[in-house]
Amino acid sequence: MQDDSTVGVFSINAVAEATGVPPSTLRYWEKAYGLIVPLRTEGGHRLYSQDDIERIRWLKRKIDEDGIQAGAAHKLLASELQKLGIVTDKAVARGAVLILVAEKDPITAELEEYFLNKAGYDVHIVLDGRKAIETAETLGPDLIILDVILPGLSGIKVCKALKDNPATAGIPILVFSVLDVRDRALDAGADAFLLKPIDQPKLIEAVKALLTEKAVRSG
């Protein structure tokens, strides 16, 4: 007889409500780390088990309370599960670099995503400032591209909040705006500034430079 705790019965929205982790983040964690992979119905809908929910809660506690990034939290959970013979270390190997784009205009965000995808990067888009902070803390992206004019909280304030938070301070931030606020952005902790409209070569060049600098700092 199958253990009820391993049976997939909870929808992604039910899991999001129970754990406080948004559906978009659950989908990204599944794709990026392969550690919590729900069952699928014939129609393609995700069904999570009680065990899945407890593991998601564990991850969220590590991220919220211990201040570690999502990738590190998944590695810790994988280590615990490996001791039980449940997963291998291959389950947490994230592929492409993840870039978080915080942009008020969905069309501009999609254009940035297109250029970044072509360059080989994964992209996660948010459309307001507070969501940018929440998502940065949850996903632990490799780089953040911030618009200045964002609903909820300006890009300058988002930048300062992220740089003041030990859990996100090490993430490079590129402020990208139609407003020439280079000095304000750099004073808030931004690592680079670009003026819109989008210039694909300059955008990709700036992203590569910031990621290279991050790799050098990390040793």
Q: Digits of tens for pLDDT over the chain (219 positions)?
A: 445 566 768 999 999 999 999 888 898 888 778 889 898 888 888 999 999 999 999 999 988 887 777 777 888 888 888 878 776 555 555 556 889 999 999 889 889 988 998 898 888 889 999 999 988 988 888 999 999 999 999 999 999 999 999 889 999 999 999 999 999 999 999 999 999 998 999 999 999 999 998 887 766
Domain of 105? 98-218
């600098």: which residue's tokens?
A: 213
128 near 115, Cβ under 8 Å? Answer: no
Please state the φ and ψ torsions of residue 142, each to the nearest 5 degrees.
-80, -20
Q: Does 196 share its domain with 134?
A: yes
Q: Which of 92, 110, 138 is the last residue of a domain?
A: 92
Single pTM value for the model: 0.63
105 near 129, Cβ under 8 Å? Answer: no
Give the integer Cα–Cα distance in Å for 36 and 50: 12
CA-to-CA separations, 183 to 77, 129, 151, 155, in angstroms, rounded: 41, 20, 21, 13
CATH of the domain at 11: 1.10.1660.10
Q: Does 55 share its domain with 111?
A: no
Helix axes 129-139, 155-164, angle to 10 degrees: 30
